[in-house]
Chains A and B, each alone.
Chain A
Amino acid sequence: MTRPVPPALVHGRRLPNTWDVAAMALVFALLIGVAHVAQGTMAPLARMKSGHIHLNPAWLPGYALRTTLRMFAALLVSLGFTFTVATLAAKSRRAAIIIIPILDILQSIPILGFISFTVLFFLHLFPGQELGAELAVVFVIFTSQAWNMAFSFYQSLTTEPADLVEACRSFGLTPWQRFWRLDVPFAVPGLVWNTMLSMSGGWFFVVASEAITVGHTTFTLPGIGSYVAVALQHRDFAAIVYALLAMLVVILLYDQLLFRPLVAWSGKFRFETVPSAGETEPWVLRLLRRTFLLRAAGDWLSDQFAHVVRLRLGRADRKFGSAGLDRATGRISDAAFYAVVIIAAGAAAAQVVEFCARTMYWSDLAQCVVLAFYTLARVIAALVISCVIWVPVGVWVGFRPWATRLVQPAAQFLAAFPANLVFPVVVAGIVHFRLAPNIWLTPLMILGTQWYVLFNVVAGAAALPGDLKEAASNFRLSGLLWWRRLIIPGILPYFVTGALTATGAAWNASIVAEVASWGHTTLVARGLGAYIAQATMAGNTSRIVLGVAVMAAFVLGFNRLVWRPLYAYASRRTNFG
């Protein structure tokens, strides 16, 4: 199986270019704009009655359902975004030049830092209604999912096999037909994989965003996340355990009913010419395929779908390919387009500068950068610890097919489980034993994402060619040499993939992990995450924007300066054959 590569490892350059700068200006101007609108709405906020959360476990199934529905609503929006924006970027060279860097920056922005703004923004749109809050939560999940899905789709669209594209053109398929016959099917394996990663990450954010405190107002939407938040305030340990159990059940259902069947089904769209050796069919898919009634229903559905797909919407491309087409007019509209982008970016940059000049000092920036280094140290420490634990375990497991079959699904399951639900338990422990929060809050950051390291290492070790292992034992490679010559080079691309995902999420998690409370006791670790969290609680717009910008810069820099070169190096070295 060819493994999907995270977009952050593929796209863009190491050094930012003009378009990156323009994209950055646009993104931050937008964020500031949103924050600006949001700030004006502090007053009507108070009027909104937030739903009351019952700690009685009988309410939990209902809460769990609502949380799940939010997830799926966001997923639909993300898919819509993916299909439109990524297609636009792939079909228009001009659009791509600005959309791609924007997506790259957006996916490095710590979403949690902006929850308060987005919530306020949507409340402003629907004053006094719960709908606004619902939309806000959906939007937060959307922002955690959409970018890498769009990237993955864009990546597929730009790497379509030339012969299939020519076949589509020479048979005269309309754009609509081509979209469903070539574009989407070719993208399915990567898209499903990225959607699953997104969904797994999404649970974390849905839980975090259901109960938000902005300024002096806390408002809650019925759901598992708000249930936990209320339980925390009441120091109700039993309720937290109930919530954990409910979440376990939800993730288990999601994993069994959706994740596994989808991944197995997407195998059909893998672009390969040899049938892959027997992978087990998930029971849900088996049920769908073997049960007469379900199969009949499925056939009917796919018939209807095929009917829609065959619609001859749009005109078939009966023109030549774009080789050397109308250079003069192309150049003029190019110039016009670039001018518009540059003017927009310039205006955006002016707004950002003006905003910063009005509300901030250089000392703020310096403070942020120092704090960012604290958090960076914490991220690295957490990563190192999880590597020391999981790399040997992963290699051990990957070398044993039976263990791989057991561990892989478990690791994927654990990665989907929102770790922030477990935070209170750990925090209670820290409070109880009076441990130093600066050190002991660190592991929380990587609690939920360490599993990415594990299952990527397992996959890497399992994919190591058997003859290499045999050669290694034939030449009696052992100990350090065995690691250095066989294992580390062999699993490096997989490891980088896992570590990139883990660290990206760890930065995000720092916002909830560096400040944790248990009843009325609040633990604070020194770091950028805590800075952003406290600014959010204080409703200090400029500090939030600054903190988020610095964190985004650190994430982006880390990806480009560490992971991307490392990945390029690793995949060059381990290109078997």
Chain B
Amino acid sequence: MDQQTAPGILLDVRNCRQSYPKEANSELVVLDDVNVTLREGEIVGLLGRSGSGKSTLLRIIAGLLRPTRGDVSWKGAPVRGPVRGVAMVFQSFALFPWLTVQENVELGLEAQGVARREREERAEEAIDLIGLGGYDGAYPKELSGGMRQRVGLARALVTHPDLLLMDEPFSALDVLTAETLRTDLIDLWSEGKLPVKSILIVTHNIEEAVLMCDRILVFSSDPGRVAHELRVPFPHPRNRLDPAFRKMVDDIYAVMTRRKSPADLKAEAAHPATGFATPLHPIGTNLMSGLMETLAAPPYDGRADLPALASVLQYEADELLPLGETLQLLRFAELEDGDIRLTEQGRTFVNADTEERKKIFAAAALANVKLVAAIRQVIDERWNHRASAVRFRDELEDHMSPERAEETLRTAISWGRYAEIYSYDEEAQQFSLEDIEEE
């Protein structure tokens, strides 16, 4: 497996930056100064949280998107559009529901104008390789999720690409199915049966990255940057329970939960607007209470190791991160080195009854979430005690993508409603103080 000794460079990304223009000189930076080099014979993972721009980078590499700045070269030649020799596997499978398995697999060959005979042979080969034999005539909707992603894989492999791009390929599958697909893929790779030279996987799943990749690039969010690069030294097949494996997962956790450096914090203070426009994770209040209650109770007694907690709660390891961050934002908990610790305020919340909890939450939200405080302030200032959601959405969109702005606003609405800070009329898209009891 040690093919890196003779490195043929497949792909080179230099100083790549991706941003979207916003009104009045501001722009939304998704990727900033990213450098990536891919060589033949390696599996590389792009690991990061949602919104860290790793999927954007994948699309730039595939030639589907033009980077705002920077150079991408494929085998030494600059990339100007969809690259021949790069095939993509999609998170959503992206199968054509009106084509059979075989027709889906043949799609890439049709585009290349491969003759019928050869097309059928190669499709058959790919279908058998990936374990789909016998399903040739089936339509995607007759298949389970795992089988569908196998079709997606076969469709990419049949073109014999040099580079296989995988965009969160297993995240739409259940845990056991995903594991089977991962090991099947790694087995084929180790045995040299995959007709590809290199694989690039985008994932938010730390264990998946450590399990499959030779090299991992950890992305930081807002804007996306390569924060760390790690080499995974373990030979395949890897054992998840191996202490060294666990240690590596924990280390990456620590990297990803590390507090921002003082320099970062100072930079944020220079832009007070970012406080208002901090993206909020769409986390419900029930979920927060649930986690805090679990943390407060034995065996954790207020402190837990995130990966361990995640496996007990049957979460994907990193799904807890946004939740933890949200509790940290509200000062109910703190994240440090892959651990989560309940604060004094968090304990008070857990011990309170329903009405008190709302009050505690309201205080925490008003003090720590600038958006919630701003909405309430605007309502209070208006003579009719009403405020349109549109202006808040517009302001948020100046600082983030429309989808995240919507998500953030939705979250602020839901928190405000729970804490009875304000109410919201969906029809009129208006905040108001109706039905809010004033003390």
- Give the residues in chain A near B20, CB-CB below 8 Å: 323-324
Q: Which residues of A contact B426 (CB under 8 A)?
A: 572
Can you name the residue of chain A whose Cβ is closest to the Cβ of B152? Answer: A167
B235 within 8 A of A: no
Q: Once bound together, how far apart are the Cα atoms of A382 and B90, in whole Å?
A: 52
A172-B82, A275-B141 as given contacts; A181 in contact with B96, CB under 8 Å: yes
Q: How far is the CA of A167 from the CA of B68 in the complex (A)?
A: 22
Q: Is the CB of A318 within 8 A of B81?
A: yes
Q: A274-B141, A318-B81, A572-B426 are in contact. Are A173 and B107 (CB under 8 A)?
A: yes
B residues contacting the other copy or chain, number (CB 8 A): 38
Contacts of B59 in A (CB 8 A): 166
B residues near A569, Cβ cutoff 8 Å: 427
Q: What residues of chain B lie closer than 8 Å to A319, measured between beta carbons?
A: 80-81
B84, B93, B94: most-surrounded residue (chain A CB, <10 A): B94
> Do the beta carbons of A173 and B111 come within 8 Å of each other?
yes
CB neighbours (8 Å) of B110 from chain A are 173, 177, 310
Contacting pair B88 A323 (CB below 8 A): no
Within 8 A of B (CB), among A166-213: 166-167, 169-174, 177, 181-182, 185, 188
The B interface is mostly helix, strand or loop, or mixed, namely: loop
CB-CB under 8 A from A325, the residues of chain B are: 66
Most buried by A among B62, B111, B141: B111
Contact present for A320 and B108 (CB under 8 Å):
no
Q: A321-B65, A324-B68 are in contact. Are A316 and B111 (CB under 8 A)?
A: yes
Task: Collect the chain A residues with CB atoms within 8 Å of residue B81's CB.
Answer: 317-320
Residue contact B87 to A171, C-beta cutoff 8 Å: yes
Interface membership of A470, Cβ < 8 A: no
Chain B residues in 8 Å Cβ range of A293: none
Of A181, A185, A321, the contact of B66 (CB 8 Å cutoff): A321
Quote the shortest CB–CB distance from A297 to chain B (angstroms). 20
CB-contacts of B37-74 with A (<8 A): 59, 62-66, 68
Q: Does A237 contact B (CB under 8 A)?
A: no
Q: Assess whether B113 is in contact with A312, with CB atoms less than 8 Å apart.
A: yes
In the complex, what residue of chain B is closest to A276 when comparing beta carbons?
Answer: B141
Q: How far is the CA of A167 from the CA of B97 in the complex (A)?
A: 13
Q: Whole-angstrom distance from the CB of A269 to the nearest CB of chain B?
A: 5
B299 on the interface (CB 8 Å rule)? no
Q: Are B66 and A320 in contact (CB under 8 A)?
A: yes
The reply to whether the CB of B86 lies closer than 8 angstroms to some CB of chain A is yes
Interface members, chain B 75-92 (any A CB < 8 Å): 80-82, 84, 86-88, 90-92
Q: Across the two chains, which residue of chain B brings its CB closest to A273?
A: B141
Chain A binding surface, main DSSP class: loop
**Interface: B112 (CB within 8 A):** yes
With an 8 A cutoff between CB atoms, is B272 at the interface?
A: no
Contact B112 A172 (CB under 8 A): yes
| Residue B98, interface by CB 8 Å | yes
Given A173-B107, A312-B111, A316-B111, A167:B140 Cβ within 8 A: no
Q: A317-B81, A320-B80 are in contact. Are A169 and B141 (CB under 8 A)?
A: no
Q: Any chain A CB within 8 A of the CB of B21?
A: yes
Nearest chain A CB to B387's CB is how many angstroms away? 21
Residue A272 at the chain B interface, CB threshold 8 Å: yes
Contact A323:B66 (CB < 8 A) given known A273-B140, A312-B113, A572-B427:
yes
> Using an 8 Å CB-CB cutoff, how does the interface string of B122-162 with A read, 1 for contact, 0 for none?
00000000000000000111100000000000000001000
- Flag if B96 contacts A185 (CB, 8 Å): yes
Q: Please, which residues of chain A bring their CB within 8 A of the CB of B108?
A: 171-172
Is B107 within 8 A of A269, CB to CB? Answer: no
Note all chain B residues with C-beta closer than 8 A to A324.
20-21, 66, 68
- CB-based nearest B residue for A307: B116
**Given contacts A166-B59, A167-B88, are A317 and B82 in contact (CB under 8 A)?**
yes
The one of A163, A172, A268, A318 in contact with B90, judged by C-beta atoms closer than 8 angstroms, is: A163
Residues of B within 8 A of A161 (CB): 92, 94
User: What residues of B have a CB within 8 angstroms of the CB of A317 in the complex?
Assistant: 81-82
The B-contacting residues of A in range 319-367, CB under 8 angstroms, are 319-321, 323-325
Q: How many angstroms between the C-alpha atoms of A171 and B88 in the bound complex?
A: 8
B84 touches A320 (CB 8 A): no
7 pairs from A and B in contact (CB 8 Å cutoff): A163-B93, A173-B107, A269-B98, A270-B97, A312-B113, A325-B66, A572-B426
3 tightest A-B contacts by CB? A320-B66, A163-B94, A318-B81
**17 further interface pairs, Cβ-Cβ under 8 Å (given A167-B88, A273-B97):** A161-B92, A166-B62, A166-B90, A167-B94, A170-B82, A173-B107, A182-B96, A185-B96, A188-B98, A271-B97, A272-B97, A272-B141, A318-B63, A318-B81, A318-B82, A319-B81, A320-B66
B interface residues, Cβ below 8 angstroms from A: 20-21, 59, 62-66, 68, 80-82, 84, 86-88, 90-94, 96-99, 107-108, 110-113, 139-142, 159, 426-427
